[in-house]
Amino acid sequence: MNERFIIDYQSPIGLIEITGSKVGVYSVLFTEKDSLQFPITENIPKPLTDCYEQLDNYFKGELDTFTFPYIMEGTDFQKNVWTALMDIAYGKTGSYKEIAVNIGNEKAIRAVGSANGKNKLCVVIPCHRIIGSNGSLTGYAGGLWRKEWLLEHERKKNIPKL
């Protein structure tokens, strides 16, 4: 089995723990640790350092699509939901119902919500772009305040320049 490594990224909205191997990144999750515990070193595999750099560019407003290798760990249904989340454009939002329809199972709204909540690649697989069908913010593992920040961050970049 691939050895797993952990590095931390200090984002404007809290510490993010990146877990991965030489093959790819397994998780990108907000953490409540007080300080960086795993600074980047020369021993960290390229997928993790690429993730770190791309997160940095995302938070600087310079990147809207992640290209580092990542590995989705979950059921086939969860992977289908997470793949469908990738179709929600940067700066846009969608609903659980829209995702359910997109995966061909329009009655699976609650299951889509559950799968969304189990996404281990926060920000990268944009579960933060899911809002209630009435336009309200819905649950987010990183906290609703972070979800609101991420949506506003993406909206600002999408404002047409005059």
From 28-42, 48-62, 127-141, the region with the lowest mean pLDDT: 28-42
Task: Kindly report the number of other CB atoms within 10 A of residue 90's CB atom.
Answer: 14
Active-site position among 48, 100, 127, 150: 127
Instruction: Delineate the domains of the chain, giving CATH numbers in brackets.
Output: 5-59 (no CATH), 76-157 (1.10.10.10)
Decide if pLDDT at 76 tops 90. yes
pLDDT of 42: 67
pLDDT at position 99? 95
pLDDT > 80? residue 159: no
Q: In 3D, which of 18, 46, 45, 44 has the Cα closest to residue 30?
A: 18
- Which residues face 60 on adjacent strands? none
Residue 51 is a catalytic residue:
no
For residue 137, the model assigns a pLDDT of 85
Report whether pLDDT(88) > 70.
Answer: yes
**Residue 136 confidence (pLDDT):** 84
Neighbours of 23 (CB within 10 A): 12
Higher pLDDT, 161 or 155: 155
Q: Given this model, what pLDDT does residue 32 score?
A: 86
Q: What is the pLDDT of residue 41?
A: 64
pLDDT of 19 above 80: yes
Burial class (CB in 10 A: 0-12, 13-18, 19+), 34: exposed
Q: Distance (Å, rounded) from C-alpha 124 to C-alpha 145?
A: 18
pTM of the entire predicted model:
0.90
Average pLDDT score over the chain: 90
pLDDT, tens only, 109-147: 999 999 999 999 999 999 999 998 888 888 788 889 999
Question: According to the model, what pLDDT value does residue 139 have?
Answer: 79
Residue 161 has pLDDT above 60, yes or no: no
